[in-house]
Structure 1
Amino acid sequence: MSALLEDSLSVAILRMLAQEPAGAGVSLPRLGKRLGQGASVLMRRLTLMGDAAIGGVRGPGWVRVEQHDDRWVAHLEAPGRAQVQTLPPADENAG
């Protein structure tokens, strides 16, 4: 299991992005508001969840972040959508 999947924020991001139709994204302000996190926290986590190489190790490629005009938008990629399918059901009573 990836260490990212042991982190509740990473799992919450994957679940939220998976609620969107394929190809649709979520703006960072909306993602932050729904998850109670600031944009800088989200950008750091999304960078780890993307395909960027950090410390010589390539990320899993679960998400992609793009800038559209003046806003950042996070998209769930196919590997991320597949990863969501392996997650245990969300506890609807949590949070």
Structure 2
Amino acid sequence: MSALLEDSLSVAILRMLAQEPVGSGVSLPRLGKRLGQGASVLMRRLTLMGDAAIGGVRGPGWVRVEQHDDRWVAHLEAPGRAQVQTLPPADENAG
């Protein structure tokens, strides 16, 4: 199991992005508001969840972040959608 899946923020990001239709994404301000996190925290986590090589190790490629004009938008990629399917059901009473 990826260490990212042991982190509640990473799992919350995956779940939220999975709620969007395939091909659409979520702006960072919207993602931050719903998850109660700042943009810098989200960008660091999304970078780890993307396919960038950090310390010579490539990430899992679950997400992609693009800039559209002045907005950053996070998208769930096919490996991320597959990963969401392996997660246990969300505890709707939590949080």
TM-score by length of 1: 1.00
Structure 1 residue 45, shift from structure 2 partner: 0.0
The runs of at least 4 consecutive aligned structure 1 residues that moved more than 2 Å come to none
Instruction: Give the corresponding residue for 1:32.
Output: 32
Structure 1 residue 79, shift from structure 2 partner: 0.0
**Deviation string, structure 1 residues 23-54 (Cα, Å, up to 9, x no partner):** 00000000000000000000000000000000
Partner SS state of residue 94, structure 2: coil
Partner SS state of residue 91, structure 1: coil
CA distance in 2, matches of 1:13, 1:36: 11
Q: Identity of paired residues, percent?
A: 98
The count of corresponding residues between Structure 1 and Structure 2 is 95
**Structure 1 gap segments, 5+ residues each:** none
**Structure 2 gap segments, 5+ residues each:** none
CA distance in 1, matches of 2:25, 2:67: 11
CA distance in 2, matches of 1:54, 1:19: 28
Structure 1 residue 76, shift from structure 2 partner: 0.0
